[in-house]
Amino acid sequence: MSRKSKKWKQPDSEKLEDLEFNPSGLDLKWSKNLTTTIDAYRIYRCYDLGSIERGIGQGEIPRSFVKQWRMIRSVLHRFAAVTPKISGIEKMMRRRQIIQFTALILLTLGAPAIVLTWALKLDHIAWFTYPFGFFSAGLFAVTALITAWYNREIAWTIYHYIEDNPDLLKSEKALLHEWAQKLIRYTARLIRKDTLDLDKNLLKLYSNDYDGVAFIKEPSRLRKHYVARYKA
């Protein structure tokens, strides 16, 4: 007899306001990674959470934090769900993906064609393989520029949407700010405890409204984030 699967429901006792975020037990690597990830989601820059899931599976993240992760992840997923709903985003992402895939396929065919033609001295097909191979390589290089342009357009579209909807996920943004701030303070304590070099433990952030860090580099055309230095 087949059984109908039931959808998981969050227990009533598990509410965001009941979650006491506590980064204790995290090592330096994970505390910095989580700070950047959580901060990035505040501006809808939605990182892939797969590396965190793998870290949990491999036992790199303490169980005390794993217990909090389900609720944290549910908040992050709310931000990730917004981006596809913004007008024009999915179309740009789909076009970007098609261009990247096409360039990769052509390079995969073109590069070996040049090598085989040269190695096996297949001069009778060189008229085709050489131009095709060089065209594929050139297209792959141009694709990097096209991808950067699409990334910029997507980022600006999201930015304008956020500016037009300041109250969207307002309470969740406040939570992410609180969590990132706690992680910054926790990481600073780890660095002081082990007397580590502050200049070798810089932090990547997308917002500049945190205490406990000095912002030493601002976003630029090639760098989309701030570079912050923990305060001693």
Residue 7 scores a pLDDT above 60: no
Structure confidence by residue, pLDDT tens digits, 8-21 = 344 444 566 667 88
pLDDT at 204 over 60: yes
Distances (CA, A) of 11 to 74, 116, 176: 13, 62, 22
- Ranges of each domain in the chain: 23-82+170-200, 86-164
The helix (H) or strand (E) run that includes residue 182 is: helix 170-193
In this prediction, residues 137-142 reach a mean pLDDT of 90
Total Cβ atoms within 10 A of residue 162: 17
Band of residue 203 on the pLDDT scale cut at 50, 70, 90: very high
pLDDT at 5: 36
Give the pLDDT confidence score for residue 87 in this predicted structure: 87
Closest Cα to residue 170, out of 78, 77, 84, 87?
78
Work out the pLDDT band at 86, boundaries 50, 70, 90.
Answer: confident
For residue 230, the model assigns a pLDDT of 95
Q: Are 117 and 130 in contact (CB under 8 A)?
A: yes
Decide if pLDDT at 205 tops 70: yes
How much of the chain exceeds pLDDT 70, in percent?
92
DSSP track, 51-102: HHHHHHHTT-S-HHHHHHHHHHHHHHHHHHTTGGGSTTHHHHHHHHHHHHHH
If you average pLDDT over every residue of the chain, what do you get? 87
Mean pLDDT along residues 111-137: 88
Q: Is the sign of the CA dihedral 25, 171, 89, 217 positive or negative? A: negative
